[in-house]
Amino acid sequence: RPWFPYKDEFHLDRQEKQSSSSKVVIASLAEFVEKQMKERFERVVRSRSYSACFVAEALDNAGNIAAIFRSAEAFGFQSVHVITSLTVKGYKGVRRAHRGTERWLDVEVWNCAKDCIQALRSRGYRIAVTSTSHDTVSICDMDWTIPTAVIFGNEHEGASDYSTSQADILCGIPMFGMVDSLNVSVAAGILMRHAVCDRIARNGFHGDLEPEQQEILMAEFFLRYKRNSADIFSDLAKKRQLDQYRNF
């Protein structure tokens, strides 16, 4: 499953020579995470999915990007992407993220559609681009158990010509009224909800992580829980190393 981004190695300090495992991270921070929150983390991690991810391409409205992120998090999709020519503060695919919904997601930022699509293809995703044209495939006719990256285009112009030309499939939401388009964040929410229902109907479950991957993501959540969680863990790790040196 090449789309899972992490190894069981946690380097919280660039000068740190030795890495820590997810087991060590969880054990070290256990006393700093409330029982209720631990149980919630466990429940959420079991339902997390990487085999579908979502891309916001050149959206003008930051509120729409935030709404897409919120829907992805609510429906259990861990990986989201932003294609933008601007440097958007906060949209960074790093392990230490602390901005609202983003703290629980893996956010990657790309300067151009070409780089983003090439990377997603290399991870094993088919590329689906949302469109309002008449030759689209209904999202209801797609198999959402197939690893899929969905690109949502600009609010006014839709997806770029490049993204559309690179699509393995153009997809759309069936509509029966006079309007032929929806707000991009509304469309994203509808599509994500349908994808979850389709995956459960076909597989009996939504989450797609192996137990060891769940443990790694659990450690990620422990580190993202509070702003100083990573600093607390680093201090504890340094103390352990010092104690080991003294005992030696």
Where are the chain's structural domains? 14-44+209-246, 49-203
C-alpha dihedral sign at 81, 86, 92, 98: negative
d(CA 82, CA 76): 18
Average pLDDT estimate for 107-131:
96
CATH of 49-203, one of 3.40.50.2300, 3.40.50.300, 3.40.1280.10, 1.20.1260.10: 3.40.1280.10
Listed residue (48, 26, 35) closest to 206, CA to CA: 48
Q: What pLDDT, on a 0 to 100 scale, did the predictor assign at position 135?
A: 86
> In this model, does residue 2 exceed pLDDT 70?
yes
Task: Look up residue 92 and give its two tokens.
Answer: 């960074």
∠ CA 171-177-180, rounded to 5°: 40
Q: Report the run of H or E that residue 203 belongs to, with start and end.
A: helix 184-203
> In this model, does residue 239 exceed pLDDT 50?
yes
> In this model, does residue 1 exceed pLDDT 70?
no
Average pLDDT estimate for 50-70:
95
Query: 157-177, pLDDT tens digit by residue?
Result: 999 999 999 999 999 999 999
Calculate what percentage of the chain has a pLDDT beyond 90. 75
- Binned at pLDDT 50, 70 and 90, residue 240 comes out as low
Query: 200-232, pLDDT tens digit by residue?
Result: 999 999 999 999 999 999 999 999 999 899 888
